[in-house]
Amino acid sequence: MTKNFDSTPFSEQAAAEFERLAHIMAALRAPDGCPWDREQTHESLRPYLIEETYEVLDSIDRKAYGELKTELGDLLLHIVFHARLAEEEKLFSLVDVLHEINEKLIRRHPHVFGDAVVNSTDDVNKQWEQIKLNESHRPQLLSGVPKHQPALNRAYRVQEKAAAVGFDWPSDEPVWKKLSEEIFELKHELVQGDRAKIEAEFGDLLFTMVNLGRKIGVHPEEALRTSIEKFTNRFGQIELDLRDAGVPLHEAGLEKMDELWVRAKEREGAKP
């Protein structure tokens, strides 16, 4: 079974704008183009690509959808930029990039573009991982998890992939037991004083916490991001209150800052 794709005026306009972006990028990289753009390489663009990705995430977190439109454009520019560099190096073209993702989406969704049957999101995830394992560039299940992404997110993806092929606890109960074990082992190593073992046990504890989050439907990266933002806002309020009182931050002391922390929570409507 092959699904037909509708052609609409919007898709024609989108194609025209996408082609325009590709031409603009080519002009920027031309001999008489922009000196900065002409100096860039795949490696030099890495920090900007990461920054643009985080700006997209920030817009989503703040539900600033007007900004999101702009930030998605900035991110798209980097994709076109890297494709242009590869084309100049005769590695692949932007057309190859688009063809590759189109083929991948069709190949990995046989329940939409073929005859496969799935009954749940869990079925889709398991099917997805099985298909990826059959692809020549995926020799091992976890080889597709990028090493350079934030550690909490990488831990989540590693566990998620392992779970998709059945390597998972049936419920969150065994994870709670494992969490207690890891806390006990960390406390034990703290008494022993071996820094390498302390770090290893602390890592195991974090890894187990990620697993618990996954089992109860909480993404650790997002949860920690929310907590960091909450702490930042409350501590910022402490600074403002101390400034209004004429008390230097480094002279306030823990007791006074704790008092202001409770007040900051009360302003949010949170329980002390």
Tens-place pLDDT, residues 2-29: 566 665 667 888 999 999 999 999 999 9
pLDDT attached to residue 4: 62
Q: Considering the domain boundaries, does residue 69 fall inside one?
A: yes
Query: Would you say 163 and 155 are in contact if contact means Cβ atoms under 8 Å apart?
Result: no
**What's residue 102's pLDDT?**
93
Does a structural domain hold residue 45?
yes
Q: In the predicted model, is pLDDT for residue 269 greater than 90?
A: no
pLDDT-derived band of residue 233, with 50, 70 and 90 as boundaries?
very high
Residue 196 lies inside a defined structural domain of this protein: no
What's CA 229's distance to the chain center, in Å?
Answer: 17
Q: Which of 8-22, 23-37, 141-155, 164-178 has the highest mean pLDDT?
A: 23-37
Q: Which pLDDT tens digit goes with each residue over 31-60? A: 999 999 999 999 999 989 989 998 998 999
Q: Helices 121-133 and 151-164 sit at what angle, rounded to 10 degrees? A: 90
User: Residue 168: CB partners within 8 Å, gap ≥ 6?
Assistant: 159, 162
How many domains in the chain? 2
Q: Are 129 and 157 in contact (CB under 8 A)?
A: no
Residue 203 lies in a domain: no
Last residue of a domain, one of 49, 83, 117: 117
Residue 39 lies in a domain: yes
Domain boundary (74, 90, 117) is at 117
Average predicted confidence (pLDDT) for the chain: 90
Residue 154 — very low, low, confident or very high, per pLDDT cuts 50/70/90? very high
Q: Is 193 left (phi over 0), alpha (psi -120 to 50) or beta?
A: left
Domain endpoint, select from 117, 144, 177: 117
Query: Whole-model pTM above 0.75?
Result: no
Distance CA 24, CA 93 (A): 15
> Minimum mean pLDDT among 88-102, 122-136, 216-230: which range?
122-136
C-alpha span between 78 and 55 (Å, rounded)? 13
Specify if 146 maps to a domain. Answer: no
pLDDT of residue 270: 55
CA 160 to chain centre: 14
Query: Is residue 177 included in any domain, yes or no?
Result: no
Question: Which domain, by its residues, includes 51?
Answer: 9-117
CATH for 18: 1.10.287.1080
What percentage of the chain carries pLDDT values higher than 70? 94
> Rounded to whole angstroms, how far apart are CA atoms 56 and 159?
25
| 64 in any annotated domain | yes
pLDDT reading at 215 higher than 70: yes
What pLDDT band is residue 165 in, cutting at 50, 70 and 90? confident
